[in-house]
Structure 1
Amino acid sequence: MAGGLVALLDDVAVLARAAAASIDDIGAAAGRASIKAAGVVVDDTAVTPQYVHGLNAERELPIIRKIALGSLRNKLLIILPVILLLSQFLPWLLTPILMIGGAYLCYEGAEKIWHRVSGHAEAHASVEEALPDEKTIVTGAVRTDFILSAEIMVISLNEVASEAFVSRAIILAVVAVGITVLVYGVVGVIVKMDDVGLSLSQRSGKGVAAFGRGLVKGMPKLLTALTIVGTAAMLWVGGHIILVGTDELGFHPIYEFVHHLEEAAKEATGAVGGVVGWIVNTLGSALLGLVVGALIVLVMNLTVHRRKKPAEAH
């Protein structure tokens, strides 16, 4: 009896060690996958604050919370099951689907630039600022987040493609939750820093109060800068998806041209070649994104938007 009990405890200990090792492996794999997707995470963080820029302070965090929940639903209920099934049965479909999403990001970025250049943004600014529609804001943010989340998840999937199906699912779920908490936690901190600054500016210490006043003055500029960075990120990420996707689908000239420029920049700049090469690749991707986005904006203005104008006038 005692021997059987000892054997049972040994078996339990072995299973516990195996489970712990499995958890460690999943954690490590999730960490590797998250690091690979870090660039898109930064883009996601830069894009989101623009959706609450200019809103009343008390509405910022509730809207960010709604966007974060929508992002988590996107990742866990739609993107994760779809990419797992596609990777298992139709892996060749992942690239075209991502490219469609990338084209949408290019369109969003180019449309924002077009509105700014054409004056449409100023024409509608007073109405949008006076009566911001939370449902429209959240829907637009979650829609854009969907594309960025899809790329994050696909990049993460590529890092764990050799894992078993169940392990892949668990790792990607961990990545989805972790990245969502990270992105929207940082976004929440960014948009509330002016309130923190206001509170600090009312403290008795001169140094603390001066720092608080600096935060209050600086945050609007930071949010404006993030809006610009967010627009650029849409073009960069969307263009990069299309750049890599065309190469994977067998059309190599655009990718090879950008890659050649990147390698030439690395060789010409020596010790900082890696950074310069990355900048060249990023600029090439953003330029491609701008071209693709501008073409879509042109088509939309000549078709869908043109048909909408008579209906709105009526």
Structure 2
Amino acid sequence: EGFLYTFFYYLILFMLVLLPSFLLLSKHIDHRNLFTQRVCCKRQSHFVYIGQDISGSPVSMRARGAAAPESPEPQSQLPSCGLGQLCQPTGMRVDRVFLFEGPREVEVIQECQCELKLSQCVRVPALKTYYSETPYEAVIDVGGCSRSKEGFSCVPTKFDSALVETPNKADLIQTVVACELKESCYRVPYVEYYYEIVHNAGGVKEERLKEIDVGRCLGGCTTGNRCLLRSPSDPEMCHLWAERQSSSCVPQGYESHSFVNQHGQMRTVLSITSCLCQK
């Protein structure tokens, strides 16, 4: 009897004193485990209209889309990943579609998972599969940039290329080497080489290689809602998305470089010095 009396005494003490404190503490704990994270962070359907095929029929594909909802989640709902994490694509497939105006490449997300949210602007791996399910299938780390900060974008500023064999020729795939924080519309270096004729100190004509950084404008300036068809029952859900509008980031300033080419003619090349969003 003494044992049972002691047992029930501590049980009642736990329920009256310790249990309320435990429940209060549990409200501030992220309950989700690895299983629930992977269930919430999953690939979503995202259809995009990309044009017409050679018969004139419209073509829509399950193309690249957000791994998590594009709109911010309400504070009452838990994010799909843990604190300090984002739901990101882990594998991409590049499909070639033959449209009326010619071949087109469409990026398709294969799967997603929770990744750490990076506070620095750095280059991150990005695996893409080219010529999937063919003898020429190749997986390449094309690279990407971490998420942008308010007012700036973490964008690629240095590039390289990788070679992919195809049935017709070898394709060069552009890869990202380095990233920096820039405004949404920005200039990146782009070097061109030319031959020029010069006279040395002795008056002898020489042919030299001239390097000019002509520059390029990258980034996007367009905004707006790209949803073409929303769910009647859930306005937050979009069934069909419009293709992203082409960039309107254009050259603002330029400078000229003049030289005499191999044929003895004066040649002028313009190089971009700055870029801006075209109104």
TM-score by length of 1: 0.24
Which one has more relative contact order, counting CA pairs under 8 Å at least 6 apart?
1
Normalized against structure 2, the TM-score is what? 0.26
